[in-house]
Amino acid sequence: MIARYKRREFIKATCLTGLGLIGSNLLAVNDPKQNNKEAGNNIIIDKVHTKLEDGNIHSTPYLRMDSGTDGPSLLLIAAQHGNEVQGVEVARRFKEFCAGNLVAGNVWIIPMADLRAVRSRKYTVESTPEKRFTETNLNRSWPGDGSGHDNQRIANSLNREIVRHCTHVVDIHCWEHYRAAETLSESNNEQAAVMAGVTTTRFISYGVFPENQNTNITIRRYMSATGRAAVTIELAGQYQMREDQVLIGLSSMINIAKQLGMIAGEPEILKDERAVRTKETSYEITAPCPGIFMPANRSDSNETLSPDDYVVKGQQLGHIIGEENLKAVPVFAPVSGYLWHLGLCHWNLCDTMLSAQHPYADKGDTLAVVIKT
């Protein structure tokens, strides 16, 4: 709640509430027959073309904005997975913000990177409700291969036309709704850590990339392997658009652009402590018996707790209605901290198949994870 309130204040302070008023001409998509590189306000809207395995041409739309002054080349890439769509709206608002505020460098935006998967309304074109992850994952296809599978071909042409020009990348994904938004960074990439340090997700984690694989990797790892900087932002919730998540994405993008000197002003970072997710700070709460899990209400309202909420040690997080004796068995927060995960997500597919979000827990199933702060 605190974090959300502050994000709203941040948006107010940066006058973003009136975004719809900025440059309505910017919303007009260029007629493809025209030379769209002549677009006004230094915004180019164009497409990257890729020849697919079947010989058809696939076109990925993007836009680029140039301040006219030297500086970083920042890429926002979203929807590399077709069911992770909240970054598309972040991209739209960031574009409008930059149109009036970019003072150095240039911004590239690919809002729907795997447009084929977006059109098919799935994680990848080949995904099914029971099998989300497939070999043809765009974000395991970098830096691409012009004669590989379709997403390797698309990565190859996006790299040739866009990514190779970029010094910094923000890759926006969405994970399942039972988790809170998180920034994924690296402990061995200083430039990336600088970007990650100003994002506005409550949660952050730092990984280390192994060095022995340089093909069919994520865009973040590809940037790192080529001496550049990238962070991933996982917003919360697939197959949906949520204002609170879009604001996290937008305020993070603006902060990064400020941090890189591309927009005037200082980043507005979260006032309260950030929850750094590590093995040591993660406290898992599991089902004490089989039954139906009901989350508890927030202490200050009749709404149920949700990911991102702060809880104190001993606070009730919910209860299991046991199938043996139909009694409610409460579960409590073992430490004070922020809820990173709340609720059931069977087989990691709770935003893909309905039975995966069923609130029936087997004994030992994870009900919640609190990150100690």
Residue 225 phi/psi, 5-degree rounding, is: -65, -20
Residue closer to Zn ion, measured from CB, 39 or 163: 163
**Sign of the dihedral through C-alpha 125, 126, 130, 134:** negative
Stretch that binds Zn ion, among 12-20, 83-91, 271-279, 282-290 (CB under 5 A): 83-91
Stretch that binds Zn ion, among 5-13, 75-83, 260-268, 325-333 (CB under 5 A): 75-83
Query: Dihedral angle at the C-alpha atoms of 351, 353, 356, 359, nearest 10 degrees?
Result: 80
Return all residues near 18 (Cβ < 8 A) that are at least 6 apart. none
Return all residues near 287 (Cβ < 8 A) that are at least 6 apart. 293, 320, 331, 361, 362, 363, 364, 365, 367
Residue closer to Zn ion, measured from CB, 64 or 173: 173
Residue 81 binds to Zn ion (criterion: CB under 5 A)? yes
Residue closer to Zn ion, measured from CB, 81 or 372: 81
Residue closer to Zn ion, measured from CB, 123 or 293: 123
In whole angstroms, the minimum distance from the beta carbon of 12 to Zn ion comes to: 30
Binder of Zn ion out of 84, 96, 171, 351 (CB under 5 A):
84
Residue 294 phi/psi, 5-degree rounding, is: -120, 120
In whole angstroms, the minimum distance from the beta carbon of 234 to Zn ion comes to: 7
Query: Dihedral angle at the C-alpha atoms of 359, 363, 365, 367, nearest 10 degrees?
Result: 60
In whole angstroms, the minimum distance from the beta carbon of 84 to Zn ion comes to: 5
Contact flags string 98-137 toward Zn ion, x per CB under 5 A: ----------------------------------------
Return all residues near 132 (Cβ < 8 A) that are at least 6 apart. 123, 348, 349, 352
23: left (phi over 0), alpha (psi -120 to 50) or beta: left
In whole angstroms, the minimum distance from the beta carbon of 182 to Zn ion comes to: 12
In whole angstroms, the minimum distance from the beta carbon of 29 to Zn ion comes to: 26
Stretch that binds Zn ion, among 49-57, 74-82, 102-110, 329-337 (CB under 5 A): 74-82
Distances (CA, A) of 74 to 171, 226, 256, 266, 333: 11, 15, 9, 17, 40
DSSP 300: T
How big is the site for Zn ion, counted in residues (CB under 5 A)? 3
CA dist., res. 55 & res. 52, Å (int): 5
In whole angstroms, the minimum distance from the beta carbon of 243 to Zn ion comes to: 20
* Contact criterion met (CB below 8 Å) for 200 and 267: no
In whole angstroms, the minimum distance from the beta carbon of 83 to Zn ion comes to: 8
In whole angstroms, the minimum distance from the beta carbon of 106 to Zn ion comes to: 25
**Sign of the dihedral through C-alpha 157, 184, 303, 295:** positive
3-state SS, residue 197: coil
Residue closer to Zn ion, measured from CB, 173 or 341: 173
Residue 93 binds to Zn ion (criterion: CB under 5 A)? no
Contact flags string 22-61 toward Zn ion, x per CB under 5 A: ----------------------------------------
345-364: which residues touch Zn ion (CB under 5 A)? none
Stretch that binds Zn ion, among 78-86, 94-102, 103-111, 285-293 (CB under 5 A): 78-86
Cα 339 to its chain centre, rounded Å, is 18
In whole angstroms, the minimum distance from the beta carbon of 225 to Zn ion comes to: 19
In whole angstroms, the minimum distance from the beta carbon of 323 to Zn ion comes to: 35
Residue closer to Zn ion, measured from CB, 75 or 98: 75
165-194: which residues touch Zn ion (CB under 5 A)? 173
**Sign of the dihedral through C-alpha 163, 101, 3, 346:** negative
CA dist., res. 231 & res. 76, Å (int): 10
| Residue closest to Zn ion when measured from CB atoms | 173
Residue closer to Zn ion, measured from CB, 173 or 319: 173
Q: Residue 150: what residue type?
A: D
Residue closer to Zn ion, measured from CB, 173 or 202: 173
Binding site residues, Zn ion, CB under 5 A: 81, 84, 173
